[in-house]
Amino acid sequence: MTTTIDLSGKIALVTGAGRGIGREIALTLAAAGAAVAVNDFAGEETCLAVVAEIEALGVRAICAMGDVGDEASVAAMVEKVETELGPLAIVVNNAGITRDNVVMLMSPDDFDGVVRTHLRGTFLVSKAVARKMLRRREGSIINISSVVGRRGNAGQANYAAAKAGIIGLTKSLAKELGARTIRVNAVAPGYIDTAMTQELSDDVRKAIVDATPLRAIGQPSDVANAVLFLASPLSRYITGCTLPVDGGLGI
């Protein structure tokens, strides 16, 4: 019996991987041997820097710029990845934005924008790869949700709705694709130390740590390791689940 995770020969796409959690996921999958397509929206330089870091590990990588909320952009991105790297076996829907406000002050544009990137983006990328994976009877799709999608959060109704939607999308897709051994799972991080959370005040950070049973803010590697497990054959009998990576905050 072996428990080593070896993804050599597998091709992975990670959206929003120029920085933060996505970057860490891309590096972690590459360290396990997968060739990785690094998607980002605006930051081509950061995307290329992640590609260089991956290549330094001795595996193939490409930068696949594109807007996950735009159907044509997603189609072009997936085509580029499969042409340049090969058939996708692992897809991580990680790209995301926040536009926080209480509902009474939230503009419809800020609601739509967040839902567009997270929920529509996850739908479009999953749709673009689903038929290809079905034909090959191989694939693991991992969607990044959030503890906020499970519990809601004042000031983040748009984000919470999108992240809750991702959980429903994950379960539905798992049911649609399971018969051909395509697995679809979600990861629900708690508060993770990235640019997205670095704007929080010290008081808010302390309140989060106090409410977290493990009494700490998580690191991008905590999420990346969960994604690695769900991408690997170690989780071959797991689909449709939402794995919390939140130090117990969601209990």
Q: Which is nearer to ligand NDP, 15 or 140 (CB)?
A: 15
On whether the CB atoms of residues 58 and 76 are closer than 8 A, the answer is no
Torsion angles phi and psi, residue 58, rounded to 5:
90, 15
Out of 150, 191, 212, 235, point to the residue binding ligand NDP (CB under 6 A): 191
Residue 157 in contact with ligand NDP, rule: CB under 6 A = no
Out of 88, 144, 157, 167, point to the residue binding ligand NDP (CB under 6 A): 144
Q: Residue 97: which of 120, 79, 81 has the closest Cα?
A: 120
Return the H-helix or E-strand segment holding 14.
Answer: strand 11-14
Residues 195-234 that bind ligand NDP (CB under 6 A): 195-197
**What are the distances in angstroms from CA 99 to CA 113, 153, 158, 193, 242?**
8, 13, 8, 18, 24
Residues 30-59 that bind ligand NDP (CB under 6 A): 39-43
Measured from each CB, the residue nearest to ligand NDP is: 20
On whether the CB atoms of residues 81 and 60 are closer than 8 A, the answer is no
Return the H-helix or E-strand segment holding 141.
Answer: strand 139-144
Q: How far is the CB of 181 from ligand NDP (least distance, A)?
A: 26
Q: How far is the CB of 8 from ligand NDP (least distance, A)?
A: 26
Asked about 237 being catalytic, the answer comes back as no
Q: Which residues contact 83 (CB under 8 A, 6 or more apart)?
A: none
Q: How far is the CB of 6 from ligand NDP (least distance, A)?
A: 26
Catalytic residue numbers read: 159
Judged by the rule CB under 6 A, the positions of this chain that interact with ligand NDP are 15-16, 18-22, 39-43, 67-69, 94-97, 117, 121, 144, 146, 189, 191-192, 194-197
